[in-house]
Structure 1
Amino acid sequence: MKFTEIKELELPAAFDAHVHLRDGEMSKLVAPTIRKGGVNQVYVMPNLVPPITTVKECLEYRDRLKAIEPNVDYLMSLYLHESITPEVIREAKQAGITGVKSYPAGVTTNSSSGVLDYESFYPVFAEMEKQDMILNLHGEVPSTPAHAPAPSTASPSQAAITILNAEPAFLPTLQSLHTHFPSLRIILEHCSTAAALSAVRACGPTVTGTITAHHLSLTIDDWASNPFAFCKPVAKSPEDRDALLQAAVRSHGKFFLGTDSAPHDCAAKRGADRVAAGVFTQMDALGYVLDALDVGVRRGVVAEEEVCWEGLEGFLGGWGRRFYGVRDGRGERIVLRRGAGRVVDVLEAEGVGVSVVPFRKGEETWSVEWL
């Protein structure tokens, strides 16, 4: 049967390779939505305030998440910081921590403690390579400061950086890291451009990329008028979006789902001095992907036969688990039903003092039933 005609789809429970679950009140609100989205295993980002930079902090954070939602497998990460040493990497590996996340300083939410110079971390990367841990890269460089020299007086090799070209400007760093550490498993997170996809493809099998649910749908026009569609990296051109759709069904494991679901309280999206970067997709993650692929087929971006069961199972879970070297110990399965779900207008819970507006609020999508 053609994908656009399918009403029900049975799949293994998904693995989301990039989630923000925050802490405190926000964790209490969003952690229970992981399974609502059809996911039972997640890779958790460490950019709390302050960031997770020690093994003790990381394990305590995992315990807090388990206390909220025990029926999810949480793979944990450390935040790349000057306090991370080869000794910390060895301790983390022994404790079962999966990887280390790198944020360039200041490029996105809670990244003020991020990386300024990757070469200074080469001893850490060498130990990660030895310990077979994963390096997760937020693949952008900081924007050019407002007080920087005008283009006419700047060095010709230093083009001005904005949120629109911050990802392409980072790609030489990806290639350099891969060249220096060819056995280090690296993930270029939340690819948002055709250039990023090409850069990942040009690397060896130890380098992969994640693709979010929202980048499969959005372009620059969407977030320019809607704070609830604004994230970093920002969505780019229609051509970039279409390249992501094609990669999702054609990569055979080079790319897989990492939603980068990032909740913010409604006030931070509507009424703050600056709009917070992040799109919340956790509770309808698989529905968003399937909806985007459906639109892609109808627009002729991907062929109907390219959206097959094997490819969906791979992109939504199998390929990510394979790269991370983990298995779904629960062996759970889900059924998704077209048009039987609806995105809530606002996510809120009794006794919790924050609320979140999800991506595509109020719209129809696929429902999820656990078998």
Structure 2
Amino acid sequence: MKLASLDEIEIPAAFDAHVHLRDGEMSQLVTPTIRQGGVNQVYVMPNLVPPVTTVQQCFEYRDRLRAIEPSVDYLMSLYLHESITPEVIREAKKAGITGVKSYPAGVTTNSSSGVVDYESFYPVFEEMEKQNMILNLHGEVPSTPAHAHSSATKDTQAITILNAEPAFLPTFKALHERFPKLRIILEHCSTAKALEAVKACGPTVAGTITAHHLSLIIDDWAGDPFCFCKPVAKTPEDRDALLRAIVNSNGRFFLGTDSAPHDSKKKRGEDKIAAGVFTQPYAVGYVLDALEKGIERGVIQEEDVSQEVLEGFFGKWGRAIYQVEDKSGEKVVLKRKAQDIVDVLKEDGIEVQVVPFRHGEQTWSVTWK
């Protein structure tokens, strides 16, 4: 298989292990775009306002999503919060909830109720390990307050959005050492150091890679609010390490788009720019485009991008660690540069509008079989 010479590729329907579908009008707008991107199974993030912290809230949310788009399989998660106890974990497992998502307090969108001290949740993690549930980690620490930056010493490096992920890795490693049988996903890896940390762990640990981090570097988001996300894209070397991880890591990394829609007004025109890149309608196409660019730059070889790798990254590897199946048997046919990326996603009767990643360009189209 030579990607550059192919105009058409057929793969099983994709599994996206990290999506933000929001609620209300925004959910009405973006949830129908899941299948448009080649995906029929998703793992849904719980950082609504208020966050999803009970089994009842979780299934009420799933019911709302199913009412919008019934042809998608929604795997659900709880938000790690002080109200989550071992008893809640047992209830969640019995009810069929897949995992628990941890956000360090204040690092990203709707994370103000997040974790300050991981040790206080050790009883919860222990029960999750017993119940074979997944712990999803947003792998960053909060930035050092601006007024404190000048006080950083040689022993305490100030934390910014550029080193927030590497600074979290000791916590990540400590959690795995303490709970070696707990399935842990380091979400949206954005640095070579994060990739190495995942590979250094045992087989219960894996990582997700987004579509946009395969393309973006610092220079892109520094001048474009629609490329700004958390974790931020890093250096060209980090981006290229992500591409190599897809083809060389033996299934330790898989697609989790972290597609994060925001009303276009919150991406430009307000005092602060909302963190999030919206990729849902074109998820698989964006990845194929990034792999092609990687081949052109000599980062990866064309023969590395095999049918096995594509089927693994887009679905097989993620489903394996999540221990789920796609019973639909659905497949998608992807055609090169046959899809125009809209400038703005909008619908009559819905006030919010979202600007997709690489708006106005072209990518691979998706046809369902």
Name the TM-score class by shorter chain.
over 0.9
Helix, strand or coil at the partner of 1:135 = strand
Aligned partner of 1:105 in structure 2 is 105
d(CA) in 1 for partners of 2:192, 2:37: 27
Deviations 1:29-51 (A, max 9, x none): 00000000000000000000000
- The one-letter amino acid of 1:136's match is N
Identity of aligned residues (%): 75
Residue number among 294, 303, 306 corresponding to 1:305 in the alignment: 303
Aligned partner of 1:208 in structure 2 is 206
Residue number among 351, 355, 370 corresponding to 2:368 in the alignment: 370
Q: How does the TM-score come out when normalised to structure 1? A: 0.99
Helix, strand or coil at the partner of 2:298 = coil
d(CA) in 2 for partners of 1:2, 1:42: 29
Return 343-352 or 141-150, whichever deviates more. 141-150
Shift of 1:196: 0.2
Shift of 1:157: 2.8
Deviations 1:225-253 (A, max 9, x none): 00000000000000000000000111121
d(CA) in 2 for partners of 1:91, 1:182: 23
d(CA) in 2 for partners of 1:125, 1:349: 42
| 8 A contact 2:149–2:158 mirrored in 1 | no
Matched, 1:218 2:216: yes
Aligned partner of 1:325 in structure 2 is 323
Aligned partner of 1:117 in structure 2 is 117
Matched, 1:338 2:336: yes
Shift of 1:352: 1.1
d(CA) in 1 for partners of 2:251, 2:181: 17
Aligned partner of 1:44 in structure 2 is 44
Helix, strand or coil at the partner of 2:70 = coil
- The one-letter amino acid of 1:224's match is A
Structure 1 residue runs of 4+, over 4 Å off?
none
- The one-letter amino acid of 2:160's match is T
Shift of 1:146: 1.6
Aligned partner of 1:250 in structure 2 is 248
d(CA) in 2 for partners of 1:113, 1:48: 11
Return 342-351 or 209-218, whichever deviates more. 342-351
d(CA) in 2 for partners of 1:149, 1:107: 17
Matched, 1:14 2:21: no
d(CA) in 2 for partners of 1:169, 1:285: 29
| 8 A contact 1:17–1:320 mirrored in 2 | yes
| 8 A contact 1:217–1:292 mirrored in 2 | yes
Residue number among 223, 229, 232 corresponding to 1:231 in the alignment: 229
Aligned partner of 1:349 in structure 2 is 347
- The one-letter amino acid of 1:179's match is E
- The one-letter amino acid of 1:61's match is Y
- The one-letter amino acid of 2:259's match is S
Helix, strand or coil at the partner of 2:125 = helix
Gaps of 5+ in 1: none
Shift of 1:147: 2.3
Matched, 1:241 2:243: no
Aligned partner of 1:33 in structure 2 is 33
- The one-letter amino acid of 2:23's match is D
Shift of 1:149: 6.0
Helix, strand or coil at the partner of 2:355 = coil
Matched, 1:59 2:59: yes
Helix, strand or coil at the partner of 2:10 = strand
Shift of 1:156: 3.6
Shift of 1:202: 0.4
d(CA) in 1 for partners of 2:40, 2:149: 49
| 8 A contact 1:192–1:236 mirrored in 2 | yes
Helix, strand or coil at the partner of 1:191 = coil
Aligned partner of 2:147 in structure 1 is 147
| 8 A contact 1:252–1:314 mirrored in 2 | no
RMSD across aligned positions (CA): 0.7
d(CA) in 1 for partners of 2:47, 2:250: 30
- The one-letter amino acid of 2:312's match is G
The within-5 A match list for 1:192-203 is: 192-203=190-201
How many residues matched? 369
d(CA) in 1 for partners of 2:34, 2:41: 9
| 8 A contact 2:345–2:356 mirrored in 1 | yes
Helix, strand or coil at the partner of 1:150 = helix
| 8 A contact 2:79–2:102 mirrored in 1 | yes
Shift of 1:285: 0.2
d(CA) in 2 for partners of 1:6, 1:116: 49
Gaps of 5+ in 2: none
Aligned partner of 1:158 in structure 2 is 156
Shift of 1:155: 4.9
